[in-house]
Structure 1
Amino acid sequence: MRIALFSDVHANFPAFEAMLQDMDSQKPDAVYCLGDLVGYHIYPNEVIDEIRRRGIATLKGNHDEKVENIITTPESLNEPEKKYAYHLIREDNREYLTTLPAHIRLEYKLNGEKLNLVFAHGSTRSIDEYILIDTDADYVLEMLKEAEADLLFVGHSHKPYHRILETRDGRLKHLINLGSVGKPKDGDLKGCYVIVHLNAGSSTTDKNSIEIEFRRVEYDVEASAIAIINSPLPDEFADALRLAK
């Protein structure tokens, strides 16, 4: 079983197209998105339309959630939120964002053992909580236990990592941040997504039985940045793409 997961596209359709092309070449068995389809770029509808066309199971990110309370009329262009281009989102796509779930859980039974994969945007406790590579281990383990998660996949921070923690009974728990497709913040300009490799022997007792593959995808960063420069959005969003910060 090969599962592709991605997060934080942030309306950067050029980056999204490049990621999808790479992902399609990998022929995953299933695909999931952990949210934040919109914000920071001018192509929210293009991103949402493609997600919906492909039928990709998608979580609600914190930017997706904010859209619910914003009036997208011409008068709203004077509001501070206009800088995130929320006003560009069509009504049908706004309605779609309101229906997205907070979490997704997959339960496998492999080799006689249950293996739970849990997906959240920020964390299982909050949509906008940052779970970083150096977040206190005891805190993370408590949250994993609470969520009944053996593998927890998150986004939100835009900084990819794979962290393995050991419980008191010797079980291994995996915490994976997918990074960002459309707005990396780890100094690497390339978009990032993950492919999880599971097999019949995948187990919480053998760290080598579960493979987490980070894939980085090049796209035309400068063209994407210029699209922002030529729009009403702040130039700082273009600079963030150019610096991956």
Structure 2
Amino acid sequence: MKIAVVSDIHGNVLALEAVLADLKLEAPDMVVNLGDCLSGPLWPEETAAILRETNWPTVRGNHDRFILDEPVDKMAPTDAFAAGRLSAESLDWLRTTAPTIRLPGSVFLCHGTPDNDDRYLTEKVEGPKGHLPDEQTLLAEIKGESAQIICCGHTHIPRVIQLAATGQTILNPGSVGLPSYDETHPNRHNKDAGSPHARYALMIKAAEGWEFQDKKVPYDWDAASAEAQRNGRPFWARALKHGFFGPLS
């Protein structure tokens, strides 16, 4: 069994297309999507048109929820850009996404933590950056979820974490479409993957257990950066081009 795990596409159709080409070579048995599909100053409707056809099990990310639930005039600029460009068909598809998904074989999918789509699981923020939480913090954050594999996104930083106390694995595939960003909650901080590649992960069930692979796929990030710049988002432009957020160069 081979499962591909994608997350945080953020309307970057060029990155998504590159990942799709790589998936054809990998030929997984299943692809799952951990959410934050469309929000971004890039190509939300073009991305949605592809995702509507994939039939991937898809979790609803926090930005997917914002697009669906908040009035456009109260949305942050990134969400409002996407919401204003999505067709009724794409919004209907977004409504089919689920807060969490449980797969056969003891695999649990969420966007943030098992009970909160807007909370980090695999990063702990202290000061302007994040770091790997200690095991006790992770155990507290999974709130008793007992699945052998917990897949989450939201942080855009790839991680594979083995919990010694329970034998569980937490997998974060990183972000397909946005390698770096800044956030103001719980305090202002950056998340930087450190390269502009489109990222996803593979889970492979072998006789001796699960194997995990971090995939880093090149694509035309200069074109994605230029699109963000055209749409008035220079910090997105730099993040897409370099994998680091600000200052501008």
* TM-score, normalised via structure 2 length: 0.83
Aligned 1:77-226 pairs, distance under 5 A: 81-84=76-79, 85-86=81-82, 87-108=84-105, 116-132=106-122, 134-144=132-142, 146-167=144-165, 171-184=166-179, 185-199=192-206, 201-202=207-208, 209-226=209-226
Structure 1: segments with no counterpart, 5+ residues? 109-115, 203-208
Residues 196 and 83 of structure 1: CA distance in aligned 2, closer, same or farther (over 3 Å): closer
Structure 2: segments with no counterpart, 5+ residues? 124-131, 180-191, 245-249
Counterpart of 1:243 in structure 2: which amino acid?
H
Q: Does 1:234 align with 2:233?
A: yes
Residues 80 and 65 of structure 1: CA distance in aligned 2, closer, same or farther (over 3 Å): closer
Contact 1:144/1:150, CA 8 A, preserved across alignment: no
RMSD between superposed Cα atoms in Å: 1.8
Spell out, residue by residue over 1:63-109, the C-alpha distance to the aligned partner (whole angstroms, 9 max, x if none).
1000113456xxx5xx663444121111221222123101111232x
More helix by share: 1
User: In 2, Cα distance between the equivalents of 1:68 and 1:20?
Assistant: 26
Contact 2:68/2:95, CA 8 A, preserved across alignment: yes
Tell me the equivalent position of 1:26. Answer: 26
User: In 2, Cα distance between the equivalents of 1:96 and 1:80?
Assistant: 20
Alignment identity in percent? 27
Tell me the equivalent position of 1:206. Answer: none
Spell out, residue by residue over 1:93-136, the C-alpha distance to the aligned partner (whole angstroms, 9 max, x if none).
1222123101111232xxxxxxx111110110200111125223
Q: How many residues align?
A: 222
Spell out, residue by residue over 1:169-220, the C-alpha distance to the aligned partner (whole angstroms, 9 max, x if none).
xx41111111000001311111110110003x35xxxxxx210011100011
Name the SS for the 1:210 alignment partner: strand
Spell out, residue by residue over 1:3-49, the C-alpha distance to the aligned partner (whole angstroms, 9 max, x if none).
01100000011111001100111100011000001122321111111
* TM-score, normalised via structure 1 length: 0.84
User: In 1, Cα distance between the equivalents of 2:142 and 2:112?
Assistant: 13
User: In 2, Cα distance between the equivalents of 1:57 and 1:68?
Assistant: 18
User: In 1, Cα distance between the equivalents of 2:75 and 2:97?
Assistant: 25
Tell me which moved more, 90-99 or 182-191: 90-99
Residues 69 and 222 of structure 1: CA distance in aligned 2, closer, same or farther (over 3 Å): same
> Based on CA coordinates, which of the two structures has the bigger radius of gyration?
1
Runs of at least 4 residues off by over 2 Å: 69-72, 79-84, 141-145
Contact 2:199/2:217, CA 8 A, preserved across alignment: yes
